[in-house]
Amino acid sequence: MVTTVFSDEIVNATELRAKQSHWLTIASKRPVTVTYGSRKLTILNREKIRNLFIQAHYMESFVKYCNEVMKGTKSNAFPWTEYLDDEEKKQFHEEFISSIMMAVVTENWEVVETLLEDWKATAETESDEETMKALRTKQASDKYIALKE
């Protein structure tokens, strides 16, 4: 079952040399594996493999985090979540799942990266009492002081 997920064209080094342009054109669309003695080397579109690496990175974090949430243990995947309250942790979890699902479909992983950066900045801010005290202090808008140009 799993082996059918990856399909490639297989050529030997001699065939590749004889029809380089042909095989490289194919490789830009789907993987071409070159056999060289007992070795097998695959040529892939760079954007595709880059996307797969990014996907693997975030999916690993995602699975680790879900596992931590299920077990109710402190997060190693995203240690800064300890500074979020329960409601925020729930919101982060839901948004993280949505962003992963969207990124899998659109292949735009910046959505996930941005979400994580925003939540991390939120947690870091909440961890700092001085900043939180300043942010909690109310001020009437007409009392703010204009920048001197």
Residues that bind another protein (CB under 8 A): 84-85, 87-88, 91-92, 95, 114, 117-119, 121-122, 124-128, 130-131, 134-135, 137, 139, 141, 143-147
Report the C-alpha gap between 69 and 22 in whole angstroms. Answer: 50
Task: Provide the minimum distance between the beta carbon of 30 and another protein in the complex, in angstroms, as a whole number.
Answer: 33
Nearer to another protein, 26 or 93 (CB): 93
Q: Which is nearer to another protein, 101 or 135 (CB)?
A: 135
Rounded Cα–Cα distance for residues 126 and 119 (Å): 10
User: Cβ of residue 128: shortest distance to another protein, in angstroms?
Assistant: 4
> CA–CA separation, 115 vs 124, rounded Å?
14
Q: In the complex with another protein, which residue's Cβ is closer, 70 or 85?
A: 85
Smaller CB separation from another protein, 38 or 86: 86
Query: Shortest approach of another protein to residue 68 CB, angstroms?
Result: 19
What is the residue whose two structure tokens read 């996907």?
Answer: 55
The least CB distance from residue 72 to another protein, in Å, is 20
DSSP string, 63-118: HHHHHHHHHTPPPSSSGGGGGS-HHHHHHHHHHHHHHHHHHHHH--THHHHHHHHH
Output the CA–CA distances (angstroms, integers) from residue 122 to 34, 80, 135, 143, in the order listed: 48, 9, 12, 26
